[in-house]
Structure 1
Amino acid sequence: IDMLYEADNCKSKTEFMEKAIRFYCGYLLQNKPELVDYLAPQLATLTEGIVKGTEQRLSRALFKVAVELGAVSHMLAAVHDIDDDTMIKLRAMCTDEVKRINGIINFEKAVRYQRPD
């Protein structure tokens, strides 16, 4: 137990023993109708943990992207003099484009679009 509980990502030896007992109970219940009653809560807990972890990673990634986008927006606004009408048209064009391309933005295509030639 001393060697394995940390390797199993358990915070304590007690948590490790609880997991081991649950595993053994599942082993004893295999091929018995009671297995469904045992597995349903285990699967729900496992799925909930996966979803929660994914949600946290996505939230952190979106926060970082928003910070970078804010910095880029402020830099562009500082170096370019764009009138309100052009800004409104640009936002509408970008909204339509993002809907059309399903949010997958390609920098090279944007550069080619913006070139006058």
Structure 2
Amino acid sequence: MGRVKNRHTLWLYDDTWGLVGSHYKDHNCTTQNEFIEQAIRFYCGYLDAGRDGTYLPNTLSAVLEGALGALGDRLGKLLFKLAVEESMLMHIISHDTDITPDELEHLRGRCVRDVMRTRGMIGFKDILRFQKEL
């Protein structure tokens, strides 16, 4: 059975509440309550650190999960946008290109070798140079 959250009254100075409001979004919290709960757990972990030495690994793990989760979300959105733009470009190019399926398969093999050889660092200038030498 899952944990159940309960409502608790909290008395804070206005400037302290202002700190919560100005920091909670910066720390990947969706609500101010989530920020306060994380802050309490963080501080309690800090106080308990002298007893069992588990504070740093748990805190580090929580921080890394938050940062890497946000990074993963951002990279996923950027990759989706890039895939859409690439698809549009492929449709435009294929509309005006006369290439046979065999030529396309040969080109795909060459591109795979180029990317592997350059470890993904092949640039437009390299491809242009190759095309002009043909």
Tell me the TM-score normalized by structure 2.
0.72
Check if 1:22 corresponds to 2:41. yes
Q: Which runs of 5+ in 2 are unaligned?
A: 1-15
What per-residue deviation string (whole Å, max 9, x for no partner) do you get for residues 15-42 of structure 1?
A: 3433443343344345x24232x33222
CA distance in 2, matches of 1:57, 1:7: 22
Check if 1:35 corresponds to 2:53. yes
Evaluate the alpha carbon distance shift between residue 55 and residue 17 of structure 1 in structure 2; reply closer, same or farther with a 3 A threshold: closer
What per-residue deviation string (whole Å, max 9, x for no partner) do you get for residues 77-113 of structure 1?
A: 1011101111110010001111111112311111111
- Residue 5 of structure 1 corresponds to which residue in structure 2? 20
Computed over aligned residues only, the root mean square deviation of the Cα atoms, in angstroms, reads 2.0
Check if 1:86 corresponds to 2:107. no
Whether the aligned pair in 1 keeps the contact of 2:42 and 2:59 (CA below 8 Å) is no
CA distance in 1, matches of 2:59, 2:46: 13
Identity of aligned residues (%): 36
